[in-house]
C-alpha cells in the first residue's frame, strides 16, 4: 500500500490510496477526499456499504466485487473501473456521480441517484437507473431487463440500448442518435423528445403523453396506442400494424404503414396505407388520415 496527499486550488487535500486489496467491511465509511488507484475491493460475505456516506471519492483503474458498495455518497468519480457481476445494488442514493470508461455488471446499479453522468462505458445491469433524476449518458452500451423506471430529466446521446422495458413512467426524456431495442419502451412516459433514433420493439410508446419523435425509424408491431399529444416528424415505420389505437396523433410518416386502427383524433399523413381498421370502437374516433399525393411523373400504384 502507498498513500500520499495532494493539494490544489480546486480541491481539498486529497489522500491517494493505491496498489492494494481491500477486504475489510465498511473500510471507508464516512471517508472524504480520497483517490483510489489500482485497487481491488472484494468482500461478498458482508452486506454493509464500504463507502456509505462518503464524500469526494475518485476510484480509478480498480475492480469492485461488493454488495451495496457505494450508498448515500456525494461527489463520486469512477474511471476505468469494473464493477463485477457478483456485485449487487451498487451506487444507490448518491448525488453528483461521474462514471467514465467503466464496465458495470452489477444488477440494480444506480438507483435513486441524482446528477449522474456516464460516458464511454458498457453497462450490463438488470433494473438499471431506476428512480434517478438528472441523468446524462453519452456514447455507451446498456443491456438489461429494465432501465430508467420512474426517472426524470434524462439526456441520452449516442447510446445502444437492449432491454425488455425502458423509460417506463419516466418524465422529461431527451434521446439523440440512439438505438433502442426493447419490447416495450416509453410506456406511460411523459415529455419525451427523440431525434435521429432507431427504435425496435413490439409495443412502443403505449400510454405516453406529450412525446415528439423526429427523423426516427420505428420498427414496432403495434406502436403508439392510447397516447396523448403524440407527434411524429419525418419518421418511418416498419412492421407497423394496428397503429395509434385511441391516440391523439399529429404525424408525418414517410413510406408505408400496414394498418391503423381506431384512430381517435388528430391527423396522420402517410405515403401509403394498407388498411384502416374500425373494430368496435369504445371511444369516438375522428382522426384524419391523409395519403400524400404522388409527385408528378411518379408511377401510381
> How do residues 68-122 score in pLDDT, each as one tens digit?
889 999 999 999 999 999 888 999 999 999 999 999 999 999 999 999 999 999 9
- Residue 162: CA count within 13 A, CB half-sphere: 6
- Residue 239 C-alpha cell reads as 412492421
Between CA 92 and CA 171 the distance in angstroms is: 20
Which residues, in sequence order, are bridge partners of residue 212?
193, 231
Does the pLDDT value for residue 297 go beyond 50?
no
Average pLDDT score over residue span 32-59: 86
209-290-236-164 Cα dihedral, nearest 10 degrees: 40
Quick one: pLDDT at residue 10? Answer: 45
Using CA atoms, how far residue 39 sits from 44, 80, 96, 98, in Å, is 16, 11, 22, 18
* Residue scoring higher pLDDT (1 or 144): 144
For residue range 153-202, what is the model confidence (pLDDT) as tens digits?
999 999 999 999 999 999 999 999 999 999 999 999 999 999 999 999 98
Amino acid at each position: 500500500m502507498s498513500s500520499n496527499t495532494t493539494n490544489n486550488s480546486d480541491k481539498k487535500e486529497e489522500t491517494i490510496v493505491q496498489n492494494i486489496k481491500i477486504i475489510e467491511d465498511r473500510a471507508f465509511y464516512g471517508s472524504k477526499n480520497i483517490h483510489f488507484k489500482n485497487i481491488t475491493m472484494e468482500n461478498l460475505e458482508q452486506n454493509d456499504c464500504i463507502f456509505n456516506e462518503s464524500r469526494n471519492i475518485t476510484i480509478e483503474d480498480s475492480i469492485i466485487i461488493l454488495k451495496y458498495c457505494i450508498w448515500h455518497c456525494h461527489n463520486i468519480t469512477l474511471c476505468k473501473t469494473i464493477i463485477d457481476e457478483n456485485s449487487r445494488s451498487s451506487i444507490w442514493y448518491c448525488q453528483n456521480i461521474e462514471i467514465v470508461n467503466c464496465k458495470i455488471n452489477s444488477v440494480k446499479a444506480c438507483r435513486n441517484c441524482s446528477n449522474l453522468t456516464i460516458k464511454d462505458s458498457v453497462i450490463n445491469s438488470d433494473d438499471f437507473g431506476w428512480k434517478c433524476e438528472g441523468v446524462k449518458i453519452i456514447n455507451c452500451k446498456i443491456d438489461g431487463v429494465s432501465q430508467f423506471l420512474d426517472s426524470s430529466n434524462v439526456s441520452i446521446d449516442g447510446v445502444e440500448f437492449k432491454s425488455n422495458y425502458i423509460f417506463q413512467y419516466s418524465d422529461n426524456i431527451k434521446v439523440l442518435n440512439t438505438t433502442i431495442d426493447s419490447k416495450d419502451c416509453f410506456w406511460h412516459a411523459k415529455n419525451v423528445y427523440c431525434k435521429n433514433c432507431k427504435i425496435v420493439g413490439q409495443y412502443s410508446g403505449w400510454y405516453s403523453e406529450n412525446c415528439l419523435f423526429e427523423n426516427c425509424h420505428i420498427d414496432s408491431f403495434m406502436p403508439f396506442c392510447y397516447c396523448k399529444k403524440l407527434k411524429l416528424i419525418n419518421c418511418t415505420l416498419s412492421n407497423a400494424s394496428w397503429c395509434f389505437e385511441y391516440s391523439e396523433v399529429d404525424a408525418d410518416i414517410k413510406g408505408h404503414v400496414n394498418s391503423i386502427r381506431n384512430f381517435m383524433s388528430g391527423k396522420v399523413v402517410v405515403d401509403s396505407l394498407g388498411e384502416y381498421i374500425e373494430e368496435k370502437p369504445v371511444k369516438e374516433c375522428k382522426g384524419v388520415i391523409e395519403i400524400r399525393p404522388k409527385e408528378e411523373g411518379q408511377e401510381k400504384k
